[in-house]
Amino acid sequence: MLPQIYIARKIPVEVENYIAEHFRYKKWDRLEPIPREYLFEQLADCEGLLTSGTRIDQELLDHSPKLKVVSNISVGYNNFDLEVMRERKILGTNTPKVLDDTVADLILSLMLSVARRVPELDRYVRAGHWSSKDDENIFGVDVHHKTLGIIGMGNIGQAVAQRGKWGFGMNILYHNRHSKPDVEQALDAAYRSKEELLRESDFIVLMTPLTPETRHYIGEREFAMMKPSAVFINASRGATVDEAALINALRMKQIFGAGLDVFEQEPVDPKNPLLTMDNVVVLPHIGSATSQTRLEMGMLAARNLVDALYGRKPSQLVKELQDLYES
């Protein structure tokens, strides 16, 4: 009998067709997130779970006695309680690489939108206004040939650096847990300490995964180091930034503006002060949101499930659980 799995989010039909060839399955195909208690009921007889963002913790695993693998349709996997999954020998997989260019494109759009005030001035014109070309009140800041500082030089960070370097002639700085000589050579990029990068950069892109070490990685101290003309971009996870400190830094004009695709609380609270600021561009966590990329992510996540439940090592087993497969 084919293994039983649960699909806990809406997926492209091509992915569902592929899954149907390998599994018995049940699915949640609404746009709103699946209620946790309902998910628990569905998982009672499932060996695999296809999801992203669902908190995989002791409570969920206590309701999933047959679960062997959780396949995230996302590159981030901060929803995994890795310690509990390790104890229970539950495999966890993600979908890196296939979304790098799509997310990097979005990050560049945020950089340009904030720097040249695109959404703000779009609203300005739609409201019936038009100003002299010499009116400094509609001036923005340049992107080309400025200094781009990337915190977290993983695959997406490198894709952003490529765009900045080759597309806009930018000077590339980066901060990472480990230096990357090959990237430095390929992009003429320079390694900097976190503090040096914050002080020297005109555009700061935060692309670290969310871990206990990176929670509130950018806060009051860090915003105070940035240039008043600096543009701050976060497209990783909202909680890597102390959002209250960001709001204060913007109010005190410690930075020029911010581009945010992620928030500490998602969906973002409509009363969040960031949504009232003209020098902040906000998006609903759409980094990987193109049809082609979501199809590729879904197919990769489905293949991870097939590998795991058909006795093969999944190609995208997260690094912290690699030894589980050998054990």
Question: Where on the chain is the footprint of ligand 8YV (CB under 6 A)?
Answer: 52, 73-76, 99, 285, 287-288, 297
> What is the residue type of 161?
A
Which of the residues 184, 196, 285, 320 is marked catalytic?
285
Q: Is 32 a catalytic residue?
A: no
CA distance 156 to 103: 7
The answer to whether 238 and 263 have CB atoms below 8 angstroms apart is yes
22 in active site: no
Contact 113, 281 (CB under 8 A): yes
Q: Of 59, 83, 195, 266, which is the active-site residue?
A: 266
Catalytic site includes residue 144: no
Least distance from ligand 8YV to the Cβ atom of residue 51, Å: 9
**Shortest distance (Å) from residue 237 CB to ligand 8YV:** 7
Residue of 163, 175, 237, 303 marked catalytic: 237
The per-residue DSSP string of 110-150 comes to HHHHHHTTHHHHHHHHHTT----TT-GGG-----TT-EEEE
Residue closer to ligand 8YV (CB basis): 230 or 260: 260
Q: What b/e sequence results for 145-179 when a residue is b if at least 16 CB atoms lie within 10 Å of its CB, and e otherwise?
A: ebbbbbbbbbbbbbbbbbbbbeebebbbbbbbeee
The minimum distance between CB 96 and ligand 8YV, in angstroms, equals 9
Q: Which is nearer to ligand 8YV, 74 or 147 (CB)?
A: 74
By beta-carbon proximity to ligand 8YV, the closer residue of 99 and 111 is 99
Give the residue nearest to ligand 8YV (CB).
76
Instruction: Tell me how far, at minimum, the Cβ of 239 lies from ligand 8YV, in Å.
Output: 12
Cα separation, 104 vs 109, whole angstroms: 9
* Token pair in block for residue 294: 């979501």
Residue 64 vs 316, nearer CB to ligand 8YV: 316
Our CB check for ligand 8YV shows the closer of 74 and 162 to be 74
Q: What is the dihedral of CA 234, 239, 245, 248, to 10 degrees?
A: 60
Give, in degrees to the nearest 5, the angle at Cα 221 between 236 and 270. Answer: 50
Report the nearest approach of ligand 8YV to the CB of residue 218 (Å): 17
Catalytic residues: 237, 266, 285
